[in-house]
A = this chain, B = another copy of it.
Amino acid sequence: MEKEMILELLEQRKFKELKEELESMHPVDIVEMLEDFDQKQQMLVFRLLAKEEAAEVFTDMNSDMREDLINALTDSELEEVMDEMYVDDTVDVLEEMPANVVDRLLMVTDEETRQKINILLQYPDDSAGSIMNVDYISLRKEMTVADAILKIRQVGINKETIYTCYVTEKKKLIGAVDVKDLLTAGESRLIEEIMDENVLCAKTLDDKEDVAITIKKYGLVAIPIIDHENCLVGLVTVDDAMFVLQDETTEDISIMAGVSPNEDSYFGTSVFKHAKNRTLWLMLLMLSATVTGEILGHYEAAMAVMPVLITFIPMLMGTGGNCGSQSSTLIIRGLAVGEIQFKDIFRVIFKEIRVAFVVSCLLAVVNGIRIYIMYDQNLTLAFALGLTMMAVVVMAKCIGCTLPLLAKKLGLDPAIMAAPLITTILDTCTILVYFNIVTAVFHL
């Protein structure tokens, strides 16, 4: 395996071969490898990397590794790395570092970059500005295609993306030209002839998730970002968008499991942070579950007369909870990917009711038969439980599909209306339905 080979070369101090080996590796893979190395080995490898590769590796590292590295590097080495980095990546790095490290990093960056950094640092965490890239290529409409290509030749080398160039007039965004069009158009044609004037763009303060969704929806490689005066200030690229979307999904999924979302990774989060993120919901649900308990308590008499009733409670509560979670989850995801909107609420309810009817019939029959067999042909009991099952399933599906939509309408995150809350709500409802039916059927 590559890693073993690298380690061997390290021990034998065969730095020349090592250097060659590293050049053939992708920065992402180098980082993955370094994670298993001790600090001394990390430093040795890092110092052998070519400037650009070193910068990329530095960008991809996790913050702990990065901090150790910064402390170990000399100012001049650090400066070399910083020079090769894109400003937006530098900002991401700075945001994670302790003050003293930040000062040191800023010390070794040139004035111009420092200004760009300060501007980027001002954008709120969830804004497009905070993830945008400020190294873009802007053209003028009076340029010819040849001029444009020449400009890309000159400045393109240190731009993260050149696939789309933006046309500006007094800094204002007036159009976009795809490099594809530049290459395929006649050299003497003017940019204004081939530029696309209705170019999709986003504002610096737009929610970064919305921007990512736009990039996905329209299949863009990058989207230009403009400020409140419609001046072009940067762009967000598709690879950044993918990570934004992944983080948002992870956030949704944690909320759906009753865990307060968390920027850091699972292992990156301390035990107490984990506990904190999970306790709030558990506490809330535990206390609300006591309501169910109290209600259950009111039927002690009935259960005293017919103790067998107790044995059906887990099955009914479980099935109710699962039915509800199924519906709510499908709706929450539908809302997240923009497949369902609030205006569809009645279509959704109608659909869920029909689904519930089919499902509940099946469950009721299977369950009825089981009870008929297991409880010496007690037809009334089978009937009562079948009836309860149907009522519970229909109720569960209706509540399960409605609450996320209402949450959305009220501007809440629909994800809070997932399994944990739905289940707790349904437990109460299920007990009520169950005992009202059985007490009626058996005149308890």
Contacts and interface: CB of A to CB of B under 8 A. Distances in A.
A346 interface: no
A311 B296 contact: yes
Nearest to A200: B26
Nearest to A247: B337
Nearest to A299: B310
A411 interface: no
B358 A286 contact: no
B179 A326 contact: no
Interface string A320-359: 0111011011110110010110001001100100110011
Contact of A334 (B266, B317, B334): B266
A289 interface: yes
Contacts of A183: 149, 152-153, 156, 162, 179
Interface string A407-421: 000000000000110
Interface string A190-224: 00000000101000000000000000111111000
B281 A314 contact: no
A359 B282 CA distance: 9
A303 to B, nearest CB: 7
A439 interface: no
Interface string A228-270: 0000000000110111011001100110111100000111000
Contacts of A253: 253, 256, 329, 333
Nearest to A348: B266
Interface stretch (A90-98, A109-117, A363-371): A363-371
Contacts of A290: 311, 314-315, 370
Contacts of A286: 315, 318-319, 363, 366-367
Nearest to A197: B24
Stoichiometry (number of copies): 2
Contact of A162 (B180, B272, B348): B180
Nearest to A29: B218
A123 interface: no
A119 to B, nearest CB: 24
Interface residues of A, number: 107
A330 B266 contact: yes
Given A266-B339, A337-B246, A419-B325, A239 B216 contact: yes
Contacts of A259: 326, 329-330
A52 B359 CA distance: 46
A322 B362 contact: no
A278 B401 CA distance: 14
A293 B322 contact: no
A294 interface: yes
A7 to B, nearest CB: 18
Contact of A317 (B239, B267, B287, B317): B317
Contacts of A179: 162-163, 179, 183
A274 interface: yes
Contacts of A254: 329-330, 333
B296 A28 contact: no
8 contacts: A26-B200, A152-B183, A152-B184, A221-B238, A253-B253, A254-B333, A286-B319, A303-B303
Interface of A: 24, 26, 28, 149, 152-153, 156-157, 159, 162-163, 179-180, 183-184, 198, 200, 216-221, 238-239, 241-243, 245-246, 249-250, 253-254, 256-259, 265-267, 271-272, 274-275, 278-279, 281-283, 285-287, 289-290, 292-294, 296-297, 300, 303-304, 307-308, 310-315, 317-319, 321-323, 325-326, 328-331, 333-334, 337, 339-340, 344, 347-348, 351, 354-355, 358-359, 362-363, 366-367, 370, 419-420, 423-424, 427, 431
Given A162-B183, A254-B330, A266-B331, 5 more contacts: A216-B242, A292-B315, A292-B318, A310-B310, A322-B423
